[in-house]
Amino acid sequence: MQRRKYAVSEDGFSGTLYVEGQPETGVIILSDEFTDAPNADGIARTLARSGFAALAVRLWGTDDLPVYPDRIPANRIESAVRVLRVIPMVRKIVLYACSLGTAYAVPAAVWIPEIRACALISPLWSAFEGILSTGQMSGHSAVIWKGQELPYVRAVRYAGAFPGFRQLFTGFEEQWKEPGIARATDLHPERILSQGKPLLMMAGGKDEYWSSWQVTSAYARRLGVFARQGLFTERIYMRCGHCLGIVPESLFHLPFTGVRGFSVFPDAVKERRLRTMEMKEAHLTVLDWLTRI
């Protein structure tokens, strides 16, 4: 497997490209290191072994990036697109985002014409308040596009102090239930579909961080017309947690609901087996979707 690293100072973004063979589809992966989502590099290596040119993009948390997400430019993904465009055999570019990365993926998929399709795994309803390196909430959106902050939910519960992602998004969910806030901060993924770009949305019914299955279900009700056109695909796996979609095989058989082992209760043997089956099914669903679009 070939591997090449990219840095913000030289390339406009931070990430690593993984290529094996002569792939025709390039996939840009956005994930995070703070929740139970598999990290972008693990996803990229798995996709590369499956025949894709996989580019893991980091938006925070490396030496040349902020520790936490705060006013991070989603338009850095344009630089990642340019990397895939110069690979001679790549004919199609897809954006694959997990967890916090989904807030950056939606505007990128809307405003970057070269992105042909988008997958949102454990999706958010909106952008969220940024976090400073000091651990304080920033009072600004975590997501910007060419200098403009995306509408976001505030961490009103915590008076400026970052409580940890699980507690933070519990507070955000309370605000998403308010119709006015939900309307004002909605990411509007239908803007992707209205351009004829396929969209896959996938969630686990035991998500440990936020109710991503409810987010997915709410969007599915709204996007039914695109589903009938074959553009929108929704999948909810009720036994899966925050970690699903493209997952390195080593994570399929974990004894806990979450990847890092602190997530709730140990599974009974039967439940663990059924969850493993669902995780494998979700994994294959994404691969099939990437192949068909």
Tokens matching residue 114: 């070269």
Question: Could you give the 3-state DSSP secondary structure of residue 242?
Answer: coil
How far is Cα 282 from Cα 88, in angstroms, rounded to an integer? 30
Residue 137: partners with Cβ closer than 8 Å, 6 or more residues away: 129, 130, 131, 154, 155, 158, 160, 161, 162
Q: What is the structure's pLDDT at 158?
A: 63
This prediction's pTM? 0.91
From first to last of its 293 residues, the chain has per-residue pLDDT tens of 999 999 988 899 999 999 999 999 999 999 876 666 668 898 999 999 999 999 999 998 877 788 889 999 999 999 999 999 999 999 999 999 999 999 999 999 999 999 999 999 999 999 999 998 888 889 999 999 999 999 999 876 665 666 677 777 777 777 888 889 999 999 999 999 999 999 999 999 999 888 999 999 999 999 999 999 999 999 999 999 888 999 876 665 554 444 444 344 455 677 778 888 899 999 999 999 999 99
**Could you give the angle at which helices 102-111 and 77-85 cross, rounded to 10 degrees?**
60
d(CA 138, CA 155): 10
Residues 197, 230 contacting (CB under 8 angstroms): no
92, 25 contact by CB (below 8 A) = yes
The predicted structure's pLDDT at residue 63: 76
Q: Report the Cα 53 to chain-centroid distance in Å.
A: 18
* Domain 2-67+74-128+187-292 top-level CATH class: alpha beta
pLDDT at position 276: 85
- Token readout for 138 is 């920033």
Question: Cα separation of 226 and 118, whole Å?
Answer: 14
The answer to whether the beta carbons of residues 3 and 56 sit under 8 Å apart is no
For residue 9, the Cα-to-chain-centroid distance in whole angstroms is 24
pLDDT score recorded for residue 252: 56
Q: In this structure, are strands 53-58 and 72-73 parallel, antiparallel, or unpaired?
A: unpaired
Residue ranges per structural domain of the chain: 2-67+74-128+187-292
Alpha-carbon Rg of the chain, whole angstroms?
18
